[in-house]
Chains A and B, each alone.
Chain A
Amino acid sequence: MEAIAVHKLVKTYGAKKETVKALNEISFSTQQGEMFGVIGPDGAGKTSLFRILTTMLLPDGGTATVDGFDVVKDMQQIRNRVGYMPGKFSLYQDLTVEENLEFFASIFNTSIAENYDLVKDIYVQIELFKNRRAGKLSGGMKQKLALCCALIHKPSVLFLDEPTTGVDVVSRKEFWEMLKGLKKQGISILVSTPYMDEAAMCDRVALMQSGRIMTIDTPQHVIEQFGKRLWAVRSGEMYRLLLDLKAYENTLSCHSFGEYHHLVLRNDTGSEAAVLHYLASKGHRQVEIKTASPNIEDCFMQLMNDNA
């Protein structure tokens, strides 16, 4: 059975004059025990999707089920069995680490002892500070505690809405390792993130933009479908380089990526010399060009351009 099944889901906000379609007939389904990532920038509709699936919002069209239960009709059944960590979830700042966890365990009719195995790997990292108030924890530790709180009742499906937003790089990495560990315990996970590099950690991803899903596939497949050669270019003047590359007649797309600009050309035969020649004519010095392997962000940009 599918852990989550979404069919032509629609959510609109606003009055008649200015309606915004946060979700525009999106459909997907995830398998049990699968870690499914929803990747997209702010405003893509990720949070609306999560709120509908956790029964916090009613959809304006389409259907969705979680663990076989309908998100509209079977509100209570879903609430009894899923775990949910909303974005900007901030725990009770004036309660200690242990009190927070204890409280959420009790609300879900369980105790820390009962499901200790489940959260052990994560909890040991913060257990040292169990008598510290949650408000005094670092961002990374807060997220770990929040994850523990969402997990403590052994949910069948875990919803994590941007769990790594605002967390440092090291903690983000640790966080994803923890999610991998949870997957092994058979918990289905739906996780959203605006960070493209995190997509690779998921079994499958849906790339979302403006309320639509552009593609659903495994991270490898998404990258393989890129289908073009990707060039990484840099020079002494990076900003002018970007403008010049965008103005180049043979350029299909170009965006900045770290130290380099990622460039895709329309016609890729004998291109390296042509590009170098073009840039030299524009007065660029110290130009370096090499092929690069595409990543999810490149694919995202390409899909965005295709859809535009």
Chain B
Amino acid sequence: MMYSCNWHGALNERQTDMKQFIVFVRKEFRHIFRDRKSLLIIIMMPIVQIILFGFALTNEIKNSNIAVLDNAKDEASQALIQRLDASRYFKVTQYLPTQADIERAFKSGTIRLAIVFPQGFRESLMHTNHTQVQLIADASDPNTATTVTNYASSILSDYQQEVNGNSSLPYTIKPQMRMLYNPQLKGAYNFVPGVMAMILILICAMMTSVAIVREREINTMEVLLVSPLKPLLFILSKAIPYIFLSLVNVSTILLVSVTLLEVPIQGSLLLLMGVSLLFIITSVSLGLMISNLTKTQQEAQMFSLMALMLPTLLLGGFMFPIESMPVPLQVISNIVPSKWYYHIVKDVMIKGLGFSAVWKESLVLVGMSLFLLGISFKKFKTRLA
């Protein structure tokens, strides 16, 4: 008899908990859907960011304007100029008459590279087997300068091989390069995982913390605390809508990057979604922590931006390679969740690796989530002070 009573009691309690939970989650969704502006930002932010990074803020160099000073004006130089122009990296915009014009063109900022063919270019190439081409780049931006000269020299060496044909030179070492996983060296392969990490941590952590702090600000928290509602249910109800929205965001990011940026998903989509969910949970736990530490919505927002966005950008590994940082920063980067997620997404999405390759990183995220959730539940204030 006793047992059956208890059993009924437990069942009843579970049912009422469930009902409270559903009602609470519905209320949270109403808050989100009625705040049209914020909703629009949440939905559009990932798309805008992906497009921005994909087309505007890319570190690939496309369609660089170049100038040619052709002192040879022979078959070979013309062929080369045509080739440069035809490649997607360069556009020949100026034909310069004299050496002095090169400097002028650079100073006017209209070109990134100038190519100078010497007199009798083809003749020396054919008869002395040896000739020179001058590449002049604007090294005020060293990375761009290196990249464009590399592009140009690879076009030159391609041409050279064609001219040589089968009559191969003795003793040549020809490096054969293969760019694994990203043969076209697209920047998108690098930033899609990065943007995913940034968007998820921002939306989950910031929105969750703001949603909880708002209840405190408008004094509804006092009424909720003085009710049978369990703190665990309260926290879960706050987190669920943002977990859901973040999954939507992951999907849109993937959709945009596959269709618009042509970054394929090499690995398992299921695994990718799974680890994303794990990272979302880590971010929500961070949000809960922040809500415990802050008193107003503004404070929560500022804190989220400073404590999450900056470390994600600087130490997440997708803007600046962690390997080239000083050791202390490398150590600190380990506590940035985005770093681990970024690793996982690159491995799964770009390299097509399976779970066996990313279980360590996943375990780190699980550990972080458990730690943060533990602290948050322990510190959750069931009273006012």
Contact = CB atoms under 8 A, between A and B. Distances in A.
The answer to whether A and B assemble together is: yes
Interface of A: 51, 54-58, 75-76, 78-80, 82, 84-95, 99, 102-104, 106-109, 149-150
A95 B224 contact: no
B87 interface: no
Given A92-B220, A99-B30, A54 B20 contact: no
A94 B20 contact: no
Contact of B225 (A79, A89, A106, A109): A79
B170 interface: no
A104 B34 contact: no
A56 B222 contact: yes
Which 10 pairs of residues, A with B, have the shortest CB-CB distance?
A: A106-B23, A84-B226, A86-B222, A56-B384, A94-B34, A90-B218, A80-B228, A54-B226, A109-B16, A89-B219
Q: Is the interface of B mostly helix, strand, loop or mixed?
A: helix
Interface residues of B, number: 25
B220 A89 contact: yes
B1 interface: no
Given A90-B220, A92-B220, A107-B24, A79 B384 contact: no
Interface of B: 16, 19-20, 23-24, 27, 30-31, 34-35, 218-220, 222-229, 382-385
B36 to A, nearest CB: 11
Contact of B384 (A57, A87, A90, A92): A57
Contacts, number: 83
Contacts of B226: 54-56, 78-79, 82, 84
B30 A94 contact: yes
Contact of A56 (B19, B228, B383): B383
A75 to B, nearest CB: 7
B222 A84 contact: yes
Contacts of B384: 51, 56-57
B383 A55 contact: yes
A95 B215 CA distance: 13
B228 A109 contact: yes
Contact of B228 (A79, A90, A95, A150): A79
Contact of A92 (B23, B31, B382): B31
Contacts of A84: 222-223, 226
Given A75-B382, A107-B20, A108-B228, A149 B223 contact: yes
Nearest to B385: A57
Nearest to A53: B226
A102 B382 CA distance: 23
Nearest to A159: B226
A106 B19 CA distance: 8
Given A57-B385, A79-B226, A88 B27 contact: no
Nearest to A92: B220
Nearest to A89: B219
A95 B27 contact: yes
Given A56-B384, A82-B226, A94-B30, 8 more contacts: A51-B384, A55-B383, A57-B384, A76-B228, A80-B227, A95-B30, A95-B31, A108-B227
A56 B225 contact: yes
A87 B31 CA distance: 23
Nearest to B227: A107
Contacts of B19: 106, 109
Given A58-B383, A95-B30, A107 B229 contact: yes
Nearest to A153: B227
Contacts of A93: 218
Contacts of B383: 55-58
Contact of B35 (A57, A80, A94, A104): A94
Contacts of B30: 94-95, 99
28 contacts: A54-B222, A58-B383, A76-B228, A79-B225, A79-B227, A84-B222, A84-B223, A84-B226, A88-B219, A90-B218, A90-B220, A92-B27, A92-B218, A93-B218, A94-B30, A95-B31, A99-B30, A103-B24, A103-B27, A106-B19, A106-B23, A107-B224, A107-B227, A107-B228, A108-B228, A109-B16, A109-B19, A109-B20
A99 B27 contact: yes
A135 to B, nearest CB: 10
A195 to B, nearest CB: 21
A12 to B, nearest CB: 12
Contacts of A86: 219, 222-223
B20 A106 contact: yes
B223 A150 contact: yes
A79 B383 CA distance: 11
